[in-house]
Amino acid sequence: MGAQDPTGTRTWPRNGGAHFIGLDLTAGHRLVDLAVLDAHLQIVRLESLSLEGALQVLLTANPSVAAIDAPQQTSAGLLSNPQIREQYGLKASGQTWQRYRVSEFELRRRGLNLYVTPQVEGAAPEWMRVGFRVYRRLRSEGYAVGQDGAGGPRWCLEVHPHACFAALLGKIPFAKGTLEGRLQRQILLFREGVRVQDPMVAMEELTAHHLLRGDLSLEGLCSHDALDALVAAYTAYLASQLPDRVTWMGHPADGFICLPANPVAEGYGR
């Protein structure tokens, strides 16, 4: 028998292969988005849940690989160290990039905008503090974090969905909140083999009549939050099943961000 899902609708296999989970966190004021893929990239779950509900899904799935859209820890301030700065081609006595984690510097220098994680947890925005608590909870439940957990039964890694989509696409995608941004992301996942609906099927329902009525439900097209959770889950799948397809960016002292491409471009534009 498997372990019962807290919703009562699914039984997780204890030895039927890993599940690959993507978690798109929020500041706790709204539901978080969760995606679960199986080893064939079928969508097992794709829904919005409370944070505790999403964590229960993670903790009930065993074995599992979870990719989380949040920093795993505060910045170690490595880029204020002259020797480390020189390793990354920065002027030893310079002031730029000092606040950034190495992973954040590596993405931003490629044109991929993302958060800046502070050195003190109390200075972080609420959604980051939620992320720190999630990683601590998972560690306490036996999850390894980052590359060191590869191959283990419980493993989590940090991702950044915008950077994931850019790495897969080879350029910066359209803004995720737009219709074209959602279509682009879902087409990309569909072509990568994730079992989402082909979004061009949804577009067949887009007619002048629907536009004039303001009826743009476009059934089968995922929300941008769901797409972020799905690309996180897909990155978890690649890191586990096809490790040569991913790149880890960062430093052991303040953590790595995993990208679903290898190699990654030196710069991303439109």
Q: How many CB atoms lie within 10 A of CB 200?
A: 12
pLDDT band for position 209 (cuts 50, 70, 90): low
Same-domain status, 128 and 92:
no
pTM of the model: 0.89
pLDDT at residue 214, as a whole number: 67
Does 211 have pLDDT greater than 70? no
More confident residue, 2 or 107: 107
Query: Considering the domain boundaries, does residue 188 fall inside one?
Result: yes
Task: Check whether residue 231 and residue 143 sit in a common domain.
Answer: yes
Structural domain of 148: 3-72+118-259
Q: Are residues 99 and 124 in the same domain?
A: no
Residue 260: predicted pLDDT: 98
> What distance in Å separates the CA atoms of residue 22 and residue 270, rounded to the nearest whole number?
26
Q: Are residues 102 and 54 in the same domain?
A: no
Q: Are residues 7 and 65 located together in one domain of the fold? A: yes
For residues 83 and 31, membership in a common domain is answered with no
> Mean pLDDT over residues 45-57, rounded?
95
What backbone torsions phi and psi does residue 69 show, to the nearest 5 degrees?
Answer: -85, 75
Q: The domain that contains 170 carries what CATH number?
A: 3.30.420
Question: Rounded to an integer, what distance in angstroms lies between the CA atom of residue 79 and that of residue 119?
Answer: 12
- Give a yes or no: residue 266 inside a domain: no
What whole-number distance in Å separates Cα of residue 13 and Cα of residue 60? 10
Taking only the tens place, the pLDDT of each residue in 80-129 is 999 999 999 999 999 899 999 999 999 999 999 999 999 999 999 999 99
What SS3 state is found at 102? helix
86 with 18, same domain? no
Per DSSP, the three-state class of 199 is: helix
Q: What is the pLDDT of residue 186?
A: 96
How far apart are the C-alpha atoms of 115 and 123, rounded to whole Å? 13
Average pLDDT over residues 148-172: 92
Q: Are residues 12 and 85 in the same domain?
A: no
The better pLDDT of the pair 269, 158 is held by: 158
Asked if the structure places residue 269 within a domain, the reply is no
How much is the pLDDT for 16? 45
* Shared domain check, 176 and 131: yes
Same domain, 89 and 174: no
On whether both 136 and 37 belong to a single domain, the answer is: yes
d(CA 172, CA 160): 13
In the chain, the percentage of residues whose pLDDT exceeds 70 is: 88
Together in a domain, 99 and 25: no
Q: How many domains does the chain have?
A: 2
Of 141-145, 149-153, 263-267, the poorest mean pLDDT is in 149-153
**Distance between CA atoms of residues 150 and 135, nearest Å:** 16
* Structural domain includes residue 190: yes
Residue 216, pLDDT score: 65
Domain boundary pick from 108, 126, 159 = 108
CA–CA separation, 145 vs 63, rounded Å? Answer: 14
Residue 162 burial by Cβ neighbours in a 10 Å radius (0-12, 13-18, 19+)? buried
pLDDT digits (tens, 9 = 90+) for 60-78: 988 889 999 999 999 999 9
User: Please, which residues have CB within 8 angstroms of residue 250's CB and are 6 or more apart in sequence?
Assistant: 101, 102, 103, 106, 256, 257
